[in-house]
Amino acid sequence: MIPVNNTPIAQLPIIPPAVLTRYKVREDFDNRFRACARLLQAKWREQQDLPIGTYTDKNGRRRAIGSLISKTAADEGRNFLTPEIAEVVRLEMAYQEAGALIDQNRLYGNLLSSMPLCFNLFAGLRNDLALAARILRSIIPAIDLKAVHHVWFEHSPGRQDPTLTGDRSAFDVAFVYERSDGNTGFIGVEVKYSESGNEPAPPELNPRYDELAPASGLYKEPAHAALRINPFQQLFREHLLAQAAVMRGDYAEAYFVQIAPRHNHLIQNTAALYQCFLAPVGETQVPFVNLELEQVIEAYGWAGEHGLATALWQRYCDWWQIDEVVRDAVKVARERWTAPAKRKTKAAMLPAPKAA
């Protein structure tokens, strides 16, 4: 459906190849959403006047990609929306948890990565726990949250701990909060941007999952093979990690939250299908909460952080910029249409009417 001004965009376009080539974002294996997201990041890079970055393939060939920034810009922290966010990132990298898996090239230089998105969304809450509480109450309305005590990035309650999941699964960001009764709660968050859910996965899950899944009470069919492969295996692992922390007594309750753009249909469809595997939530089960990225950005606006909300929206969700590029490309194609020269033609001879 072609979008109309002042109405929500119902679906993203298939970008004309010539446009992708012009912005240096033509990647053969990009799906529809990823191509639009890559183009949006390339436009943001140009708007910020950031130099383009390059990628070197396994054969040593180097090429520029519009959704990358140069090493100089990356080293300056320009993948982040403010110097304050960049400072939090550097501190988190310096004090990262033992065993954390963080690709710093993607974090600092790849505009399309969900890692910088996570920091751009939540780093500001690291030093403003009152704002963190307002945001969390807004996006999880049912939560009993008196105060937020901690904001941790790339966090696991215990990497490779056999009393949890026994592997290196972790959350992109985690919040520890106090309930009104004084007990402690936990929120583990997975942030997605352009991922499809089919990224490389562990070849085989730890046998601990075969014990934990039925004991958790989370699933209608805890032994179902689909839970252990893409696109569900990451949700399965992290949901059980949060549940295991509650079962061990670390927290009185927990939530497992996924955040992804509204128009990333592959991730949104995966979340909807994953929910079909879940049993009704009991008092001791960890709820799964699927949030659209747009909801979280709007929560910042409601909390009075209009500048950050606008910056996040323009960088990650302003698909009208993509619509404008596509319309300009279509208009150029129309203007190139050359009308054929007029030729003189004889008047058509109509047959005479038959006599009555």
Q: What is the pLDDT of residues 184-226, one digit of tens each?
A: 999 999 999 999 998 888 878 999 999 999 999 999 999 999 9
Q: What is the reported pLDDT for 340?
A: 64
Q: Considering only CA atoms, which of 102, 28, 32, 31 is closest in space to residue 65? A: 28
Angle separating helix axes 306-316 and 293-302, nearest 10 degrees = 160
Assign 341 a pLDDT band (cuts: 50, 70, 90): low
- Say if residue 345's pLDDT is above 70: no
Q: Check residue 110 and report its DSSP letter.
A: B
pTM equals: 0.92
Q: What is the reported pLDDT for 193?
A: 98
User: In the block, which residue shows the tokens 């230089």?
Assistant: 109
Q: Which residue has the higher pLDDT, 264 or 342?
A: 264
Q: What is the reported pLDDT for 292?
A: 98
Distance (Å, whole) CA 146 – CA 278: 28
Strand pairing report for 253-260 and 288-292: parallel
Assign 352 a pLDDT band (cuts: 50, 70, 90): low
The mean of the pLDDT values for the chain is 93
Structural element, H or E, at residue 118: helix 114-122
Strand segments (E) across the chain: 52-56, 62-69, 147-155, 171-178, 184-191, 253-260, 288-292
Tell how many helices (H) and how many strands (E) occur in the chain. Answer: 13, 7
Q: What is the reported pLDDT for 209?
A: 97
Distance (Å, whole) CA 176 – CA 150: 5
Mean pLDDT over 255-284 rounds to: 97
> To the nearest 5 percent, what fractions of the chain are helix, strand and coil?
40, 15, 45
Q: What is the reported pLDDT for 335?
A: 74
Q: What is the reported pLDDT for 291?
A: 98
Mean pLDDT over 132-144 rounds to: 97
Q: What is the reported pLDDT for 339?
A: 60
Q: Which residues contact 292 (CB under 8 A, 6 or more apart)?
A: 259, 260, 261, 262, 268
Q: What is the reported pLDDT for 326?
A: 94
Q: What is the reported pLDDT for 331?
A: 86
Assign 349 a pLDDT band (cuts: 50, 70, 90): low
Q: What is the reported pLDDT for 104?
A: 93
Give residue limits of the domains in the chain. Answer: 83-314
Instruction: Please check whether residue 277 is in contact with residue 227, taking contact to mean a CB–CB distance below 8 angstroms.
Output: yes
Assign 334 a pLDDT band (cuts: 50, 70, 90): confident
* Burial (Cβ within 10 Å: 0-12, 13-18, ≥19) of residue 150: middle
